[in-house]
């Protein structure tokens, strides 16, 4: 029953006094108002569902239908706990037998966060609220669900956590490398002193043999020192020295340097320029390191006679390079871990290459994508923002 004094009551009170012509005008007016409200609800970004005591979805706006993969024709028939089975555990009401018997328990207001995998993987914040409509018995035991898409928020939070974890690992690794470097320097100094003493003593053949061993030790210490130096250069975040670069020219330099090695392994390289990317802002040495790492990974993933195809294209916002190999590929279980420090699918790999690539791309305001199928190969896609549309990623706050 309508509340006294509200517009609906005034309209209903006049129905008996209306002739057929005015009644038709009133119906048309109500239809227009319904269409207006429907338009408004369908422009709202949050999904809105109205569900009855049996769990039947009585109303769903466009955003809600898109989030849960519901067809408009199924509204009024589809059961919520079948469309979203996980909600049966979240709600304080029990669908099915209890609801049919009129024993459904009232729904309490609550907030949940859910992961939806169909029709696409999304993260959603769900707010459940009973409808308080005592004047309308048809809405008794109905409740509303408000669905807010928080996928980007969830992704940003996850990236922040990964960035903080990566920074912690980097600082720890840099500290360990520095501590290892100190005794290596000391060993190198004492080896030099030993060599000088041997020269002064002139102890003959035995001394010559000891000198050879000392020279080998000195060389190995130098090699370890070089490994540590390159390791520190790789993991320490360096701000890029940005200049305008031709990505294809820079890529050609890297390919020329590695041409002989690729030929030795029988690997062919194809460059497909869909449309030439314009100049981008980048650090020449850092981007060379990115290309070296990706080409090296592709070579190591392929048997002799493999193919590395590189595609270049651009749109209004991004310059894109895709590195596509015909290698062994990466399993779905390992794919999310590729950018984690010290994870490698290669025997003897140090697991820092892709981490460095991702860090460099982020410092350039770019993006990196990875797609792989075991036995068919891997595609790594690099996106660089064009200077006029440039967006720099901010460093994660401590």
Segment 303-328 mean pLDDT: 90
Q: Exposed/middle/buried for 302, CB within 10 Å: 0-12, 13-18, 19+?
A: buried
Do 243-389 and 44-149 fall under one CATH topology?
Answer: no
Segment 53-65 mean pLDDT: 87
Q: In terms of DSSP bridges, do strands 307-314 and 268-273 run parallel, antiparallel, or are they unpaired? A: parallel
> Predicted confidence band at 29 (pLDDT cuts at 50, 70, 90)?
confident
**pLDDT for residue 35:** 77
Q: What is the DSSP letter of 56?
A: B
Q: Is the pLDDT of residue 309 over 80?
A: yes
Quick one: what percent of the chain has pLDDT higher than 90? 13
Q: Checking phi first, is residue 375 left (phi over 0); if not, alpha (psi -120 to 50) or beta?
A: left
* Predicted structure pTM score: 0.47
**pLDDT for residue 179:** 72
Class at the top of the CATH hierarchy for domain 243-389:
alpha beta
Q: The tokens of 232 are what? A: 């520190």
Evaluate the omega torsion of the peptide bond into residue 119 and state whether it is cis, within 30 degrees of 0.
yes
User: Are 147 and 46 contacting, i.e. CB atoms less than 8 angstroms apart?
Assistant: yes
* CB neighbours of residue 369 within 10 Å: 11
Comparing 277 with 95, which gets the higher pLDDT? 277
**Neighbouring-strand partners of residue 149:** 124
Comparing 341 with 335, which gets the higher pLDDT? 335
Q: How far apart are CA 178 and CA 190, in angstroms?
A: 19
**pLDDT for residue 393:** 43
| Three-state secondary structure string covering 304-332 | CCCEEEEEEEECCCEEEEEEEECCCCCCC
The domain limits of the chain are 44-149, 159-235, 243-389
Q: How far apart are CA 145 and CA 124, in angstroms?
A: 11
Segment 180-207 mean pLDDT: 78
Kindly report, residue by residue over 145-175, the tens digit of the pLDDT: 888 888 888 777 776 676 666 667 666 666 6
Buried b / exposed e over 184-206, threshold 16 CB at 10 Å, is eeebeeebeebeeebeeeeeeee
Sign of the torsion formed by the C-alpha atoms of 46, 51, 55 and 61: negative
Q: Is the pLDDT of residue 278 over 60?
A: yes
For domain 44-149, is the CATH number 3.30.450.20?
Answer: yes
Segment 23-40 mean pLDDT: 77
CA distances from 123 to 48, 83, 91, 128, 335 (A): 16, 16, 18, 16, 20
Kindly report, residue by residue over 236-267, the tens digit of the pLDDT: 667 888 899 999 999 999 998 888 888 888 99
């Amino acid at each position: 029953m309508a509340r006294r004094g509200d517009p609906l009551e005034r309209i209903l009170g006049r129905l008996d006094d209306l002739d057929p012509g005015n009644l038709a005008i009133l119906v048309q007016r109500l239809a227009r108002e319904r269409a207006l409200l429907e338009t408004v609800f369908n422009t709202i970004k949050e999904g809105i569902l109205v569900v009855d005591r049996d769990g039947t979805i009585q109303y769903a706006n466009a955003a809600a239908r898109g989030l849960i993969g519901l067809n408009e024709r199924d509204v009024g028939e589809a059961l919520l706990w079948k469309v979203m089975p996980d909600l049966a555990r979240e709600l304080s009401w029990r669908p099915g037998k209890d609801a049919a018997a009129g024993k459904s328990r009232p729904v309490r207001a609550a907030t949940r966060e859910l992961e939806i995998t169909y029709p696409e993987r999304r993260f959603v914040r769900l707010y459940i609220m009973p409808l308080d409509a005592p004047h309308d018995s048809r809405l008794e035991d109905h409740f509303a669900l408000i669905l807010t898409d928080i996928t980007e928020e969830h992704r940003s939070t996850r990236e922040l956590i990964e960035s903080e974890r990566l920074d912690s690992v980097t600082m720890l690794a840099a500290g360990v490398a520095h501590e290892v470097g100190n005794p290596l320097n000391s060993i190198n100094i004492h080896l030099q002193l030993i060599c000088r003493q041997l020269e002064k003593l002139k102890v003959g053949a035995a001394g010559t043999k000891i000198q050879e061993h000392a020279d080998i030790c000195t060389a190995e210490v130098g090699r370890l020192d070089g490994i540590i130096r390159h390791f520190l250069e790789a993991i320490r975040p360096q701000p890029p020295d940005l200049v305008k670069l031709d990505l294809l020219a820079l890529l050609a330099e890297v390919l020329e340097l590695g041409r002989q090695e690729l030929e030795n392994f029988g690997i062919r390289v194809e460059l497909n320029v869909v449309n030439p990317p314009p100049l981008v802002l980048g650090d020449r040495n850092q981007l060379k390191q990115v290309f070296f790492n990706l080409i090296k990974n592709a070579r190591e993933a392929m048997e002799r006679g493999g193919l590395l195809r590189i595609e270049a294209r651009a749109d209004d916002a991004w310059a894109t390079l895709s590195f596509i190999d015909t290698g062994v590929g990466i399993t779905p279980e390992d794919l999310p871990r590729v950018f984690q420090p010290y994870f490698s699918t290669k025997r003897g790999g140090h697991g820092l290459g892709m981490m460095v690539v991702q860090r460099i791309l982020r410092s350039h305001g770019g993006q990196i994508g990875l797609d792989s199928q075991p036995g068919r190969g891997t595609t790594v896609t690099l996106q660089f923002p064009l200077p006029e549309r440039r967006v720099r990623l901010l460093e994660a706050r401590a």
